[in-house]
Structure formats: structure tokens, C-alpha cells
């Protein structure tokens, strides 16, 4: 049997918040941008004594040019040289921003990177000398930070600022951690209510002739239907279409709703309107994957919650769990995302671990037990109604598959996305492309082969791994190691929670009953222990490969084990399903196949196969690495006491992100090419890369990469964190460590 610790092992957290620069005596140097740039007193030059003359970076130069004089270069006055870490600059925002861009942003993309060909030096005026003395800002990192700070200052309406040098040469690990904590999470946070409905309910994937904001309300939330109906009546200019969902949701219903796609309601809480004094509703907040999204996503939310908890944003992580419970209660599942066309499709299930991590932070607060009870009840309902029910359950193996129901062409992509697939059928039926799509979607045209193609396509999207050659034309038939590891984790989490928190008796109320359950049915831990044991035996039988020392997917249609090598094999360590012997074999045999300069590869090059014009690269294949694969592998390795391996992998991933952040104007993106040491954020496979398209300063990063960064800093040790701050490659760092060890041993002899 696998090792199942009482609680999941989590590495100790570092001290909260980035430290201030050494030697700085000024409070608030690293405040968030809103606080820093809206405090008027901060930008009054009180340190300059009696001097009143102030110079911008450009005005003094221009004045001396007109007089035909050449100003002598001054290195700085005595007051700056004695307190170098407290140096401040007196800056006129707009002219300095223009000078910086014209001189340093040579490719004109509103970013300063190592690819720009400017002189990489800009002179600023010091505040202590009232703008009389100068100091050079040098290098890509400091200049790009200056661009970011000036962009923020301009955004907050500042004409003149006094800028701390410490914000320009800040340790990059501290700066990125601070940006994530103070800016990125806020930039990615959404709530669905009257304040946001105009934007959130307008679907960017509404390809119909009359796109308009639309929201669907479940039957069990009449208070929300009343709320949004009043919003629509009070604000007719919105053209908000408020629809009540039928009680029973079927693939036919979802298909017919595709002509009117819309947002799905999520959880709301009561509050008193401060203007009217009356009770009203307010949406529970959640974090979205990237800046362009407005709907709640599935497994992205779990990964994001790990970072939120590191930053003590417990209420936000708790709110996301509550939104998931609402979805399970009213829609039957945690959805791929909360849009109408996703009603039949889920995503990798992480609810129990997410809820338990939140509960661990709030367990001494009022209502904590009820929060956990609701979460576990929701997970039990989802487990029975989605993952161990047909069509997802394979009755022969007892294992589960990604196999969502659905009819027709997936509507979240334009039909033209599948033109190469559909054209032969268009020719066969002698009609136009549009006529075929309409006939096929309505069921008037029957094409079983096409049904199979789209069944697998929907399954790939439910898996979260869209797309990969691992799942090409077969996903719905695969009992995957990732999904079955997650369900094993559900089973062990539910068993342990019922036993330890609810005294081995959990009453199931009517709204959470599924199948043959009677209201007030009592669940005990023993049956969940048995389910976990059965799944462990099935995983060992069908998915484990002793010779290769790793887990593979199992093809339930052809009754054979697959050969695609995927980093999801390490999910078995995260879930605790592997035995110590299996874990050791994975570290010895499997890990070297996936480890690259920037962390873990999604899959091996051999498994992906040759690529070219006819067979383009897929984003979940070699050579790309994704945050979820890193996080789950680190945690799994740590769980089985492979601490050095976890630290090494975390260091490589964090180094890659930090270096791209330093070299490319603070960029943080959705995924990385972990084989590229110079520009790993450049990914051109399939959908490109989210998080690249910003002007001046990045506002959001990308949800699960933000989380992986702050979570990964908990995995690495203090020496590693310091080395990351100096951009030391792993090979250089480990060589220095080994030399120090050898020196220490020699001194002992």
C-alpha cells in the first residue's frame, strides 16, 4: 500500500513579503503602485533643504544647449555617496518616459528588453540635490524597471515623482514576488454582479449575428434570477438577456443553447447596499487564468489557490472553493469554465485538496467546519455523478476517463478551425460549408466517424491538455494516470476527512444525493478507504510499467497500455498512489527523461515524434513546460522525501522565469519552452502565448505561473533563493555548493 500521510507534506514557508533593500531606512519603498504613487507627501522633495530650483531630465540639457555650454559631468554629491541605498531621483514623468522610449525601446513595442539596441544607460537627476546632480541608470533590468515605474506613475496621474532607486535595482526574486502579490492577483480577480455584468456576460466567442451580454441562472437560485432581471430592467442600454436554465441539462439542450451563448451564474453573497440601506447580492470573487478572461475556470483555479494561500489571500481562495461548490450543486460538476457551451464538460478534479488547504488556514474561525462539510459533500456528489458514472467510467478496468458528452462541432471555436476536418464531408454531401455545419449540428446529417473525432476533441479539452499528440484521436478511450491519480486523492482525502473531522459519520442532505442515495444517508470512511485500495490495485495493474519505471495511460478500447511518456506520471507521487519502491524507480528511470534546463518537459521528444508542416507542434508536447506539471511533481517528490530532486527542479523553473522577467521587461507568460535558455517565453505552437501583449508594465502575468513562482519559492532552500536573486544558473550554483562541501570536508581531515 502507498504511504498516505495524515496530512499532505508541505515545505515550510519563507518569511512573508520581500525584504527591504539592505541599508534602506525609508519605510514604504516597496509599497504597491497605488499606495506609492497616490501618496502626495512622498513626492514632495522635502529632503533637498532650502533649494527651490528643480530640473527635469531634459530641461537643463536643452537650456545649456541653447547657451552653447557643455555641462561638466558630476558623479553625485556627498549626500548621495554616503547613503547609496537611499538614493532617490527627481523625475518629470512624461518627458523622461519619452526620452527613455525613444532612446532605449528601439523596436517600438513599449518594452525594454535584451533585444533592444539602445545604449542601455540613462541619466537621472537626484532628489537630494534638487535635480542638480546626476546619476546613470544602466542595464536592461534597471531601465525596464524604470519604464514600468514611469508607466505606473503616469497611470496614477503623476506629473513629477521622487523615485527610490531601490525600486529599480530591487532583487528580481523579491520584485516578481511583490508584483504577483500586490498587482497580478488583483489584475486577475473578477466578481460577477451588476458592477461587471456588462463586460463579463459579453462572450468573445459569440459568433452569432447578434452578440449581446447574456447570463444563465440555475433553477435553484431564484434570488439571482430576480437580481439580474432587475439589473436588466434598470439598465436597458445593456441589452442584458437573463435566461433561466431548465432543471435537467442534456447534451441536446446545450447544443440548442449554442445559438444564444452566455455566461453561467456563480455564487453570490448577501450584503447591505451602503447607498440604499437595503439587502442586495454581491458576487463572490475568483481569479481567472489571464487578463482576457472573465469566467471561472476549473483546474487553473486550484493552481492559483496555492499561490493565493502563500500570500495569505485566504478569503479569495475560500471564495473560489465556494464558487466550485455552487457549480457542483447547480450544474452537476466543476466546469471547464462558466460559459453555457461548457455545461457538459468538466476539468481535472482538485476540489478536496483545495478545500482542505483552505480549511487548514481557517479551522479556528467560525463556520470553518460547515465550509469543509459543504466542500466534501460537493466533492462526493461530483465523484459519483461525473467521474465514476458512465460514460466516463470504464466498467472493465474500474478506472475513469475524460469523456464528456456533447453534440456537434465544439462551439467555443469557430467552425473554420476544423475546416481541414470537415471539408471532405462537405464535398461528400454536396453542400456549402455552412450548410453542412448546420445540418451536422442539428443531427439531420449523420456521420459516426465525425462523432468520434469530436468526442475525442471534447475529451482533450476536458483533460486540460489541449492539445497534445498523446491524446490524438483517442483521448476519450484513455484511462489516464493523471485523472485516476486525482480520483485516488479524492478517495483518500474524503476518507480521512470523514474519519478525523466528522467522527466517521457524514450525513448527506437531499441536494447532494446522487443515484440511489436516500436523503440523510450516512457516509463512513471505510467505503472510501476500499475505493482507494481498489483504484490503487487497478492503477498498478493497468497503468504501471515496471520495466520503464513509470505510469502510462491505458487504452480501454484496444485493451492495451499506451507508450506516450508524459510528465503526468508524477501526479501519482502528488496523490500518494505510488509505493516507495515505485517512487524510487520513477526518480531513477523516468525523471531523467523529462528534466530540461528550465524544469520538467510535458512529454519526451521521442513520444512526440517528428514535426513539420504537415505535423505541427502541439503546446502540451515537447519542448514545452507548464506550471501544473512542475507544481505537482515538486510536491510529489517532496512527499516521498526526494527533497534534492524537488529543489533542483523548482530552482530550474524559477530561474527560467526570473531570467525572462529580468531580460524581457517583467514578462510572465502561460507556458515556456524549457529547452531554450535565452528566450523561453517565445512559444509559437498553436495558440501562441498568453501574457506577452502588454505595454510598459505587465499587469497580470498568468495565473498558474504566478502561483508556481511563489509556491516554488517555498520548495527551494534559502541558499537557492539568494542564488536566484543573482541569476545564478543551476549548474554554477550546484558547483559552488559542492566545492564548499569539499572544502569543509578537507578542513575536517
Please list, in sequence order, all residues whose beta carbon lies within 8 angstroms of the beta carbon of residue 247, skipping any fewer than 6 positions away.
Answer: 219
How many Cβ atoms sit within 10 Å of the Cβ of residue 137?
18
pLDDT at 146: 98
Give the H/E segment covering residue 506.
strand 506-508
Give the H/E segment covering residue 599.
strand 599-600
Region 121-134 average pLDDT:
96
Q: Helix or strand or coil: residue 203?
A: coil
What pLDDT digit, counting tens, does each position of 322-349 carry?
A: 999 999 999 999 999 999 999 999 999 9
Q: Which residue has the higher pLDDT, 8 or 49?
A: 49
Q: Would you state the torsion angle of the CA atoms of residues 397, 402, 406, 408, taken in this order, to the nearest 10 degrees?
A: -110
Please list, in sequence order, all residues whose beta carbon lies within 8 angstroms of the beta carbon of residue 36, skipping any fewer than 6 positions away.
Answer: 28, 42
pLDDT at 274: 87
Q: Which of 457, 477, 529, 670 is catalytic?
A: 670
pLDDT at 45: 80
Q: Cell numbers of 620, please?
A: 502540451
Q: Which of 583, 581, 607 is nearest to 594 (CA)?
A: 607
Q: What is the DSSP-derived secondary structure letter of residue 551?
A: E
What pLDDT digit, counting tens, does each position of 207-256 carry?
A: 888 899 999 999 999 999 999 999 999 999 999 999 999 999 999 999 99
Q: Helix or strand or coil: residue 729?
A: coil
The answer to whether 622 touches 690, Cβ cutoff 8 Å, is no
Give the H/E segment covering residue 672.
strand 671-673
Angle at 554 between CA 553 and CA 557, to 5 degrees: 135
What pLDDT digit, counting tens, does each position of 459-486 carry?
A: 999 999 999 999 999 999 999 999 999 9
pLDDT above 60 (res 76):
no
How many Cβ atoms sit within 10 Å of the Cβ of residue 232?
17
Q: How confident is the model at residue 11 (pLDDT cuts 50, 70, 90)?
A: very low
CB-based burial of residue 272 (10 Å sphere; 0-12 exposed, 13-18 middle, 19+ buried)?
Answer: exposed
Q: Which of 272, 287, 307 is nearest to 191 (CA)?
A: 287
Q: Which of 182, 206, 466, 700 is catalytic?
A: 466
pLDDT above 60 (res 85):
no
pLDDT at 687: 80
Helix 643-663, helix 627-639: angle, nearest 10: 150
Q: How confident is the model at residue 62 (pLDDT cuts 50, 70, 90)?
A: low
What pLDDT digit, counting tens, does each position of 638-681 carry?
A: 999 999 999 999 999 999 999 999 999 999 999 999 999 999 99
Cα end-to-end distance, the chain, whole Å: 44
Per-residue burial over 33-52, b if 16 or more Cβ lie within 10 Å, else e, is beebbeeeebbebeebeeee
pLDDT at 693: 86
Strand partners, 135: 124
pLDDT above 50 (res 20):
no
The answer to whether 487 touches 349, Cβ cutoff 8 Å, is yes
pLDDT at 414: 66
d(CA 567, CA 358): 27
pLDDT at 69: 57
What pLDDT digit, counting tens, does each position of 414-466 carry?
A: 656 899 999 999 999 999 999 999 999 999 999 999 999 999 999 999 999 99
pLDDT above 60 (res 55):
no
Region 76-100 average pLDDT:
75
pLDDT at 686: 83
Residue indicated by cell numbers 476518507: 495
Q: How confident is the model at residue 9 (pLDDT cuts 50, 70, 90)?
A: very low
**Cα distances (Å, whole numbers) of residue 349 to 172, 455, 738:** 34, 20, 41
Clarify whether 670 is annotated catalytic: yes
d(CA 183, CA 36): 13
pLDDT at 689: 87
What pLDDT digit, counting tens, does each position of 34-44 carry?
A: 999 999 999 98
Amino acid at each position: 500500500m502507498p504511504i498516505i500521510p495524515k496530512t499532505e507534506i508541505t515545505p515550510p514557508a519563507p518569511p512573508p513579503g520581500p525584504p527591504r533593500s539592505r541599508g534602506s531606512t525609508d519605510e514604504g519603498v516597496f509599497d504597491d503602485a497605488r499606495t506609492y504613487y497616490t501618496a502626495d507627501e512622498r513626492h514632495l522633495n522635502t529632503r533637498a533643504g532650502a533649494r527651490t530650483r528643480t530640473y527635469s531630465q531634459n530641461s537643463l540639457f536643452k537650456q545649456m544647449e541653447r547657451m552653447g555650454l557643455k555641462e561638466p559631468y558630476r558623479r553625485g554629491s556627498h549626500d548621495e555617496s554616503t547613503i547609496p541605498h537611499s538614493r532617490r531621483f527627481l523625475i518629470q514623468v512624461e518627458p523622461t518616459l519619452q526620452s527613455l522610449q525613444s532612446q532605449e525601446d528601439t523596436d517600438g513595442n513599449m518594452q525594454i528588453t535584451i533585444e533592444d539596441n539602445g545604449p542601455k544607460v540613462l541619466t537621472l537627476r537626484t532628489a537630494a540635490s534638487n535635480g542638480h546632480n546626476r546619476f546613470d541608470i544602466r542595464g536592461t533590468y534597471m531601465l525596464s524597471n524604470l519604464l514600468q515605474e514611469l508607466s505606473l506613475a503616469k497611470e496614477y496621474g503623476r506629473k513629477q515623482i521622487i523615485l527610490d532607486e531601490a525600486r529599480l535595482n530591487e532583487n528580481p526574486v523579491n520584485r516578481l514576488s511583490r508584483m504577483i502579490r500586490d498587482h497580478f492577483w488583483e489584475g486577475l480577480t473578477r466578481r460577477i454582479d451588476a458592477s461587471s455584468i456588462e463586460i463579463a456576460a459579453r462572450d468573445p466567442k459569440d459568433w452569432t449575428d447578434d452578440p449581446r451580454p447574456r447570463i444563465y441562472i440555475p433553477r435553484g437560485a431564484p434570488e439571482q434570477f430576480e437580481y439580474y432581471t432587475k439589473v436588466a430592467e434598470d439598465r436597458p442600454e445593456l441589452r442584458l438577456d437573463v435566461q433561466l436554465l431548465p432543471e435537467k441539462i442534456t447534451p441536446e439542450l446545450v447544443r440548442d443553447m449554442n445559438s444564444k451563448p452566455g455566461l453561467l451564474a456563480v455564487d453570490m453573497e448577501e450584503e447591505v447596499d451602503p447607498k440604499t440601506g437595503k439587502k442586495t447580492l454581491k458576487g463572490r470573487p475568483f481569479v481567472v487564468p489571464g487578463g482576457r478572461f472573465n469566467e471561472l475556470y476549473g483546474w487553473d483555479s486550484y493552481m492559483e489557490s496555492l499561490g493565493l494561500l502563500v500570500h495569505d489571500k485566504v478569503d479569495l481562495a475560500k471564495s473560489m472553493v465556494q464558487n466550485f461548490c455552487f457549480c457542483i450543486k447547480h450544474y452537476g460538476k466543476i466546469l471547464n469554465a462558466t460559459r453555457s457551451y461548457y455545461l457538459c464538460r468538466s476539468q481535472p478534479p482538485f476540489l478536496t485538496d483545495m478545500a482542505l488547504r483552505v480549511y487548514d488556514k481557517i479551522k479556528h474561525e467560525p463556520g470553518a467546519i460547515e465550509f469543509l462539510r459543504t466542500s466534501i459533500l460537493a466533492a462526493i456528489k461530483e465523484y459519483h455523478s461525473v467521474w465514476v458514472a458512465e460514460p466516463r467510467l470504464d466498467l472493465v478496468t474500474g478506472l475513469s476517463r475524460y469523456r464528456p458528452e456533447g453534440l456537434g462541432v465544439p462551439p467555443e471555436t469557430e467552425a473554420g478551425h476544423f475546416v481541414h476536418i470537415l471539408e471532405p464531408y462537405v464535398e461528400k454531401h454536396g453542400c456549402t460549408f455552412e450548410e453542412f455545419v448546420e445540418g451536422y449540428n442539428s443531427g439531420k446529417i449523420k456521420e459516426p466517424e465525425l462523432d468520434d473525432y469530436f468526442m475525442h476533441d471534447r475529451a482533450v479539452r476536458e483533460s486540460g491538455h489541449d492539445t497534445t499528440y498523446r491524446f490524438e484521436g483517442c483521448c476519450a478511450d484513455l484511462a489516464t494516470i493523471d485523472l485516476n491519480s486525482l480520483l485516488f486523492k479524492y478517495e483518500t482525502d474524503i476518507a480521512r476527512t470523514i474519519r478525523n473531522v466528522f467522527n466517521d459519520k457524514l450525513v448527506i442532505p437531499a441536494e447532494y444525493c446522487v443515484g440511489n442515495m436516500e436523503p440523510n444517508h450516512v457516509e463512513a470512511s471505510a467505503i472510501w478507504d476500499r475505493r482507494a485500495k481498489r483504484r490503487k490495485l487497478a492503477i498498478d495493474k493497468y497503468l504501471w510499467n515496471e520495466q520503464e519505471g513509470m505510469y502510462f495511460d491505458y487504452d480501454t478500447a484496444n485493451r492495451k497500455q499506451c507508450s506516450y511518456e508524459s510528465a503526468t506520471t508524477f501526479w501519482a507521487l502528488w496523490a500518494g498512489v505510488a509505493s516507495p519502491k515505485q517512487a524510487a524507480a520513477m526518480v531513477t528511470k523516468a525523471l531523467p527523461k523529462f528534466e530540461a534546463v528550465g524544469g520538467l518537459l510535458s512529454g519526451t521528444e521521442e513520444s512526440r515524434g517528428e514535426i513539420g508542416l504537415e505535423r505541427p507542434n502541439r503546446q502540451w508536447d515537447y519542448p514545452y513546460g507548464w506550471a501544473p506539471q512542475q507544481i505537482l511533481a515538486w510536491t510529489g517528490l517532496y512527499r516521498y522525501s526526494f527533497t534534492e530532486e524537488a529543489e533542483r527542479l523548482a530552482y530550474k523553473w524559477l530561474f527560467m522565469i526570473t531570467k525572462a522577467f529580468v531580460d524581457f521587461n517583467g514578462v510572465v507568460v502561460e507556458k515556456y519552452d524549457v529547452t531554450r535558455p535565452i528566450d523561453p517565453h517565445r512559444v509559437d505552437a498553436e495558440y501562441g502565448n498568453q501574457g506577452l501583449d502588454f505595454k510598459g508594465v505587465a499587469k497580470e502575468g498568468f495565473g498558474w505561473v504566478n502561483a508556481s513562482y511563489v509556491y516554488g519559492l517555498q520548495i527551494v532552500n534559502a541558499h537557492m533563493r539568494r542564488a536566484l536573486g543573482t541569476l545564478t544558473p543551476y549548474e554554477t550554483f550546484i558547483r559552488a555548493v559542492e566545492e564548499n562541501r569539499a572544502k569543509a570536508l578537507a578542513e575536517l581531515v
